[in-house]
């Protein structure tokens, strides 16, 4: 019981601390987040009705540009190194008032580009003849100085509201 009271007291404090790292961003605005220029823009808006309720559907584009003066690289140790995928995420935009209806997003993450290499290996075709095949393999992730990366999402918000979007950095230094 004492643990529940302690958690109840600490939970709002922890939520406030995690939210304090996020910055509000508006349509067409560019923010500097640790040297990365983050631009958020609405590319399309339409009205829709879901189960007799009105909503606004926004297609949005998140764009980031590396202005840090350095490149970021992640090399994968092996093909099963799944930590590289989570470490490759750079920026997260969270739509606070998104409903998530119809399997739409509540947030959008922008990740580093994949570094693909082609691996040639011997195999056999359907007739049993020896051939070589090419398999693209992810060797790592990169985000070079001056590079721009974009990602889009669809947010559904209550009718008459605009998306309330916050930005936070996911980049591990």
The pLDDT tens digits for 67-82 are: 999 999 998 877 666 7
pLDDT in tens, 92-133: 999 999 999 888 999 999 999 999 999 999 999 999 999 999
Which pLDDT score, from 0 to 100, does residue 4 have? Answer: 54
Interatomic CA distance for residues 117 and 40, integer angstroms? 32
Looking at residues 48-73, what average pLDDT do you find?
95
Structure tokens at 138: 């992810």
pTM score of the predicted model: 0.79
Interatomic CA distance for residues 160 and 125, integer angstroms? 59
Interatomic CA distance for residues 102 and 96, integer angstroms? 17
Q: What are the phi and psi torsion angles at 98 (to 5°)?
A: -70, 140
Beta bridge partners of 37: 32, 65
For all residues of the chain together, what is the average pLDDT?
88
At residue 145, the 3 state secondary structure works out as coil
What percent of the chain clears pLDDT 90, i.e. is strictly above it?
A: 73
Which pLDDT score, from 0 to 100, does residue 50 have? Answer: 87
Cβ density class 55-93: b for 16+ within 10 Å, e for less = bbbbebebbbbbebeeebebebeeeeeeebeebbbbbbb
Interatomic CA distance for residues 124 and 91, integer angstroms? 43
Which pLDDT score, from 0 to 100, does residue 82 have? Answer: 74
Which pLDDT score, from 0 to 100, does residue 26 have? Answer: 95
pLDDT in tens, 141-159: 999 999 999 999 999 999 9
Which pLDDT score, from 0 to 100, does residue 21 have? Answer: 79
CATH class of 22-114+141-169: mainly beta
């Amino acid at each position: 019981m004492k643990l529940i009271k302690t958690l109840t007291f600490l939970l709002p404090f922890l939520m406030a601390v995690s939210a304090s790292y996020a910055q509000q961003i508006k349509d067409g605005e560019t923010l500097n987040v640790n040297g990365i220029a983050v631009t958020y823009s609405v590319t399309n808006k339409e009205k829709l009705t879901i189960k007799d309720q009105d909503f606004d559907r926004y297609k949005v584009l998140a764009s980031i540009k590396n202005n840090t003066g350095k490149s970021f690289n992640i090399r994968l140790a092996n093909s099963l190194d799944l930590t590289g995928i989570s470490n490759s995420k750079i920026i997260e935009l969270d739509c606070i008032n998104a409903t998530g209806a119809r399997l739409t997003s509540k947030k959008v993450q922008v990740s580093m580009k994949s570094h693909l290499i082609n691996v040639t290996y011997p195999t056999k075709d359907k007739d049993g003849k020896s051939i070589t095949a090419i398999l693209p393999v992810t060797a790592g992730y990169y985000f070079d100085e001056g590079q721009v990366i974009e990602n889009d999402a669809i947010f559904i918000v209550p009718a008459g509201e605009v998306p309330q979007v916050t930005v936070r950095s996911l980049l591990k230094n």
